[in-house]
Amino acid sequence: MRKTNRPALLITSGMHSREWIATAMAVNLLDVWTAGYGSNQLVTDLLNGFEIIFVPMVNPDGYNESFKSRLWRKNMQLFAGDCVGVDLNRNFPTDEWSDPQDFWASSPDPCDETFRGPAPGSAPETQALMALVREYQSKTGGMMKIFIDTHSYSQLWMFPTGYDCYSEYPELQELFDVSALATETILGVHGKEYYYGDICNTIYPASGSATDWMFAKANIRYSFALELRDTGDHGFLLPPEEIVHTVEEMHAGILAAVAGFISRHPSAAPAAAPVPASPVPIADTAPVAA
């Protein structure tokens, strides 16, 4: 890992094993961007200006389990008793990880789907992702600037915080505006409406999330949690034919968010060419594989 003057964008998926569309989107988006380098100007500008890091499968053991138990959510960590697994997106060591006032945000019960684990940051998958980010921030002088964690379903574009429905911080309006730009851009691709807002008010209270940890502990102030297609007709069982359109929407929305970052923080991305905010077609890249 080298010192760089290029900001980094980290995209994760597969934290919840049943959310197959998130991993399918990430793998295909990676293919679109690598194939588009040199032929698609928007993609070329993105890759010239940013370090791009994909972690398309945060929870591989849980994903493997989801082929036997399709709606399995947690990892496969073993504990005393009959219950298995930690909800990785409740295990990150945020300050509010085990707030007893907020029983909605996570569960202390190992049998619950939102079990936060026996201790903050205790899951090996959580530790691995945090180690990646900490090492990157340490060796590059904090150049990881944008974090996008993808999930399904509900069609939402969210930002911190998950644990406090009344939180205020200096970047709040900026993240609100950039999220509005991203969702407007997504709407222009296939007409799908994504709602946006802070995690707590937009979907539900959630403590110990990756997005809150990246924002507060890793100083990645552009941290987002996305819920991909659909809004409930298929839920977690999204048909494979929806992969292509989902990739196209995320290609457009993520580039719009990057454009929002560049326009507001040009000195943080000195090598980045201006990226048009909307619309952002995939034209001239390789076909998306379903």
pLDDT at 270: 75
pLDDT-based confidence at residue 280 (cuts at 50, 70, 90): low
The catalytically annotated residue of 184, 227, 242, 248 is 227
Taking each helix axis from N to C end, the angle separating 243-264 and 20-36, rounded to the nearest 10 degrees, works out to: 70
Q: From CA 88, how far away is CA 61, in angstroms rounded? A: 12
3-class DSSP state of 116: coil
pLDDT of res. 267: 86
% of the chain beyond a pLDDT of 70: 90
CA dist., res. 117 & res. 127, Å (int):
13
Q: Does position 285 have pLDDT exceeding 80, yes or no? A: no
Decide if pLDDT at 283 tops 70: no
Q: In what order do the strands lie in the sheet with 222-228?
A: 51-55, 8-12, 144-152, 222-228, 156-159, 195-198
| pLDDT value at 75 more than 90 | yes
Query: Looking at the predicted structure, is the pLDDT value of residue 282 above 60?
Result: yes
Q: Which of 127, 146, 141 lies closest to 2 in space, CA to CA?
A: 141
Domains of the chain are 8-268 (3.40.630.10)
pLDDT (tens digit per residue) in 8-19? 999 999 999 999
Q: What is the mean pLDDT of residues 282-288?
A: 50
Question: Burial, 76: exposed, middle or buried (Cβ in 10 Å; 0-12, 13-18, 19+)?
Answer: middle
Rounded average pLDDT over 171-197? 98
DSSP 157: E
Task: State the pLDDT confidence band at 289, using cuts at 50, 70 and 90.
Answer: very low
Question: Residue 153: is the preceding peptide bond cis (ω within 30°)?
Answer: yes
Q: What is the dihedral of CA 59, 61, 66, 69, to 10 degrees?
A: -130
Give the pLDDT band (50/70/90) at residue 268.
Answer: confident
Query: Which pLDDT value is given to residue 287?
Result: 45
- Give the model's pLDDT for residue 275: 61
The residue type at 189: V
Residue with tokens 């990226």: 275
Backbone angles phi, psi at 207, to 5 degrees: -100, 155
Q: Judging by beta carbons within 10 Å of its beta carbon (0-12, 13-18, 19+), is residue 191 exposed, middle or buried?
A: exposed
For residue 288, is pLDDT > 80? Answer: no
pLDDT, tens only, 195-248: 999 999 999 999 999 999 999 999 999 999 999 999 999 999 999 999 999 999
Please, what is the average pLDDT of the chain?
A: 92
Alpha carbon 148 to its chain centroid, in Å, reads: 3
Provide the residue type at 185 as one letter: T
Query: For the residues 67-77, what does the mean pLDDT come to?
Result: 98
Residue pair 221/146 in contact by the 8 Å Cβ criterion? no
Q: Are 170 and 246 in contact (CB under 8 A)?
A: no
The more confident residue out of 180 and 269 is 180
| pLDDT at position 221 | 97
Neighbours of 186 (CB within 10 A): 28
pLDDT of residue 234: 98
Which one-letter amino acid corresponds to residue 47?
L
With 80 as the cut, is the pLDDT of residue 4 above it? no
pTM, two decimal places = 0.94
Query: How large is the average pLDDT for residues 250-273?
Result: 89
Backbone angles phi, psi at 217, to 5 degrees: -105, -30
Tally of residues, the chain: 290
Reported as a single tens digit per residue, the pLDDT across 101-142 is 555 689 999 999 999 999 999 999 999 999 999 999 999 999
- Of the CA atoms within 13 Å of residue 173, those in its CB half-sphere come to 2
Instruction: State residue 144's pLDDT score.
Output: 98
227 classed as catalytic: yes
pLDDT at res. 2: 61
